Amino acid sequence: MHLTPGKNPRLWAALAGVLVVALPVLLAMRLASQQSQQQQERQAARLAAEVLNRSNEISRQIGRAQVALTLPTLQPCSPLHLQLMARMTAENPLIVAFGYVREDRLLCSTFGHHGAGLPIGAPDYRSRLNRDVRAARPLPGITNTQLVMSTEPVSGYTAIIHPDTALNFLTGDQNISLGVYNTTSKQPIAQRGSFDPDWAQHLNGKSEVQFFSGKHIVAFKHSDRYDFAAYAAIPVEEMDRGTAGLILLLVPLGIAAGFVLALLLFRYTQHRLSVLWHLRRTLRRRDDELFLVYQPVVDLNTGRWVGAEALMRWRRADGTLVSPDVFIPMAERNRLIGKITAEVIRLFIRDLQAVLREYPHFRVSLNFSASDLEDPDAPQRLHQAIVEAGLRHGNVQVEATERGLLDAERTRKVLRSLQDLGIRIAIDDFGTGYSSLSYLTTLKVDGLKIDKSFVETIGTDAATSQVVAHIIEMGKSLQLTMIAEGVETAAQADYLRARGVHHAQGWLYAKPMGATELAEGLKRQAGSA
């Protein structure tokens, strides 16, 4: 059991599964908290607007009653005045009472005559509409409730308001703060719940603001006619409660989405695992689903086939071809490449034993992977197969990719043993790996395959088009046999030949073909010689 996920697809899948479930849940929670915040912001704005409406309506009712109660012919505190105040009180339901004030005393009101007058103290401030406002006053002998009194100083006309009138529409939710704030006196006129003077700073001349104070979501709206603003403040705990509610709704959805994703991922891994499973089975059964094709290597000077590269193919029972770019890396990841290579050895001998006896100088190239090059038994196995088939070691060349040579220390021994046996070594895909070039001098390889990505640039002005010339120069100075891969045009062949490259492989000459076709081709060549 591997504990690092590196090579264990099941562990990867499990990790991915956990992520795939957790991610939608986290998203759901984040969405829930965003939703809740937006919801609370909307509610704060709605409540502030309602408070403002009511405050405006109070102001409107004060103005409406004033017309009747300040007629010049009306004698203050006369029976007619008292009668009119009673009537105005009945008709303006947001006003507790009307009254008549002189020298800080309420002389009469809806409640009747007050003799020498009830002392109500000096006004707290004068509003922008020129009213003397007393913010919290009891009516001695009538009520201890702190009432708001708004007096028109010239006529003495006074409206008495209960501070809760604009706020008491909200019955539940005691956590929510509401209030009316006078922007002239910079004081709250009416207030329910907490109020922080800092909140009012945000208003700063604007008609409305909305902000998060750190503890509350606050909405402030200024009256467009009067000098007050209404606010509503919803504490974060409310928001969290909203989030919790939404989480209860969204998280199960997230989990469901996660499971659907996990299922899809599971099915995908199952598919991958099943390709792997089939690869294992076909390797075990040797059922001919895996077979080799051979791409001829030609001598650039004579055009004759001097060898071929064995390339593995996998045709599944249902007829589908699986690309080696898929199953070779898959085999490498799952420690199956040794079995693939063993199969390559078995198949090339089965396919070409007779051909190689007939053409003893023909050379077959086999692709070795990194793990083959690190396997100390690999040379012995290849040696045994060659000897048993009655072939010569010179009939075989091993292609090692630069990636395979990364661990130079471990591969050195294997390469040395192969060479000691007389098997040639060529570096495959030269120039595309990441390793340093130093191995070329220390490993003493025999050949160099110039990768087709460089051959492609011949005759173009691609930035890398100079590279191929350098590779050739280097190969020459190290006296390596050079094989150009992917040669598709006569111009490329001419260029390579002119520079002294020996061999070439590519569609210009031949595509990979079956063993029978290869044998026929060789026979044709021998006949024409």
* Contacts with Mn ion, residue ranges (CB under 5 A): 367, 399, 428
Of residues 39 and 401, the one with the C-beta less far from ligand G: 401
Give the Cα separation of 20 and 265 in Å (integer). 9
Q: Which helix (H) or strand (E) holds 428?
A: strand 424-430
Q: Which residue is nearest to ligand G (CB)?
A: 506
Q: Are the C-beta atoms of 2 and 208 separated by less than 8 Å? A: no
Please give the sequence-ordered ranges of beta strands (E in DSSP) within 110-250, or none if there are none: 112-119, 125-126, 132-139, 143-152, 157-161, 177-182, 187-192, 208-212, 216-222, 228-235
Query: Residue 309 CB, nearest distance to Mn ion (Å)?
Result: 5
Q: Is 427 in the site for ligand G (CB under 6 A)?
A: no
Of residues 216 and 452, the one with the C-beta less far from ligand G: 452
Of residues 183 and 371, the one with the C-beta less far from ligand G: 371
Binding mask 241-280 for ligand G (x = CB under 6 A): ----------------------------------------
The partner in contact with residue 344, picked from Mn ion, ligand G, none with C-beta cut-offs of 5 to 8 angstroms by kind, is ligand G
Residue list 162-201, contact with ligand G (CB under 6 A): none
Of residues 58 and 400, the one with the C-beta less far from Mn ion: 400
Give the Cα separation of 109 and 139 in Å (integer). 11
Residue list 306-345, contact with ligand G (CB under 6 A): 311-312, 324-325, 328, 340, 344
User: How many of the other CB atoms lie within 10 Å of CB of 319?
Assistant: 6
Of residues 208 and 289, the one with the C-beta less far from ligand G: 289
Q: Are the C-beta atoms of 475 and 448 separated by less than 8 Å? A: yes
Of residues 324 and 514, the one with the C-beta less far from Mn ion: 324
Binding mask 461-490 for ligand G (x = CB under 6 A): ------------------------xxxx--
Query: With CB under 6 A, what is the number of residues at the site for ligand G?
Result: 21
Q: In residues, how long is the chain?
A: 529
Q: Which of 429, 431, 471, 480 binds ligand G (CB under 6 A)?
A: 429
Q: Which of 12, 169, 268, 507 binds ligand G (CB under 6 A)?
A: 507
Q: What is the DSSP string of 70-122?
A: T-TTPPTT-HHHHHHHHHHHHH-TT-SEEEEEETTEEEEETTEEEEEEEE--S
Q: Which of 43, 428, 431, 492 binds ligand G (CB under 6 A)?
A: 428
Kindly give, in sequence order, each residue whose CB lies less than 8 Å from that of residue 501, ignoring residues fewer than 6 positions away: 300, 450, 472, 475, 482, 483, 484
Tokens (6 digits) for 340: 């693939």
Query: Residue 316 CB, nearest distance to Mn ion (Å)?
Result: 23
**Residues found near ligand G in the complex (CB under 6 A):** 295, 311-312, 324-325, 328, 340, 344, 367, 369, 428-429, 452, 485-488, 505-507, 512
